[in-house]
Structure 1
Amino acid sequence: MKMKWEEPRIDVQQFTPNEYVAACYYGNCNISGDVYMDSNNNGQYDENIDQYKYTNTACQHDFSVTGQDSPEPKANAFVAGKHWIWTGLLQGHWEESVTPVYNFDDVHVATMDSIHTHERPNHS
C-alpha cells in the first residue's frame, strides 16, 4: 500500500511559567563607606538613631536572592561618607553624603539603581 505524501510540519511548545518557577533578583556590592541600618524603618537617615553596622568596601561581590516568596529588595540601610568640597584655591570643607542602599546578609551593600529585579516573572 502506498502512503499519501503530507507536508512536513513542526509542533512548537511554548514555555508557560507556573508557581514552581523561581523568581530572583541580583546585584553586586558597589559602594564604599560607613553602613547604618534604618533602625526605625522610616526610609530616612537619622543621625544618632540609625545603628552603625560596619564599614563597607565596594568589593563587587555578586549576590542573588531566589524563591517565589522572596521579598522585593528595598533600601534598608544607608552608606554615609564624607568628601572634600573645594571652594577655592587651598580652601574647602568636608561634606557628608548619605546614599540609600540595600544591605545584603549584613556583609554587602548595593545602591538601589544597581539591583536588577526584572528577572522576577512570577512576583506579584
Structure 2
Amino acid sequence: MKMKWEEPRVEVQKFMPNEYVAACYYGNCNISGEVYMDTNHNGQYDEGIDRYKYTNDACGHNFSVTGQDSPQPQANAFVVEREWVWDGLFEGHYEVRSATPVYNFDDVHVSTMDSIHTHERPNHS
C-alpha cells in the first residue's frame, strides 16, 4: 500500500513549567559601625528620624535566601560613621561623615549592597 504524501507541519507548544526552580542570592556580614534602620524607607539617612538598631562588627557571617518568590534584597539600613568636630576651645560635636546603605539581615548582621551576589538568580523577574 502506498502512503499519500503530506506537507510537513510545525507544531508550536507553549512552555508550561512543571518543576520548582529555586532562585537565590547570598552575601556576608562585611561592614562595621553604628546601624540605623531606614525607618521612613526613603533610601536616605535622616538623622533624628532613622532609628538606631545596634553597633555591628563585620564578623563575616554568611547568609543566603532561596526560593522562587524570595524578594531581592534592598538597602534597608545604614552604617553611619561620625567624626568629632571642634566648635571652640572646649566644645565640639559629632557630625555624620558617611552613611553607607546596607542590607540588614537576621537583625544582627549587615552587608554592603555591592557585596550581595544576585547575578545567580536566573529565574528572578
Matches within 5 A, 1:1-124: 20-83=20-83, 96-124=97-125
Cα offset, 1:62, TM superposition = 0.7
Q: Amino acid of the residue matched to residue 115 of structure 1?
A: I
Greater gyration radius: 2
**TM-score (norm. length: structure 1):** 0.74
Contact 1:33 1:79 in 2 (8 A): yes
Q: Displacement of 1:19 after TM fit?
A: 5.3
**Cα shift at 1:39:** 0.3
Contact 1:19 1:68 in 2 (8 A): no
SS at 2:114's partner residue? helix
Which amino acid in structure 1 is aligned with residue 22 of structure 2? A
| 2:30 counterpart SS class | coil
Contact 1:19 1:122 in 2 (8 A): no
**Post-superposition offset of 1:18:** 6.4
Give unmatched runs, 5+ long, in structure 2. 1-16, 85-93
Give the partner amino acid of 1:116.
H
TM-score relative to the length of structure 2: 0.74
Distance 1:19 1:75, change over 3 A: farther
* Per-residue deviation, 1:114: 0.2
Instruction: Give the deviation of 1:51 after TM superposition.
Output: 0.5
CA displacement 1:32-91 (0-9 Å, x = unmatched): 00000000000000000001001000001111011111101111000002357xxxxxxx
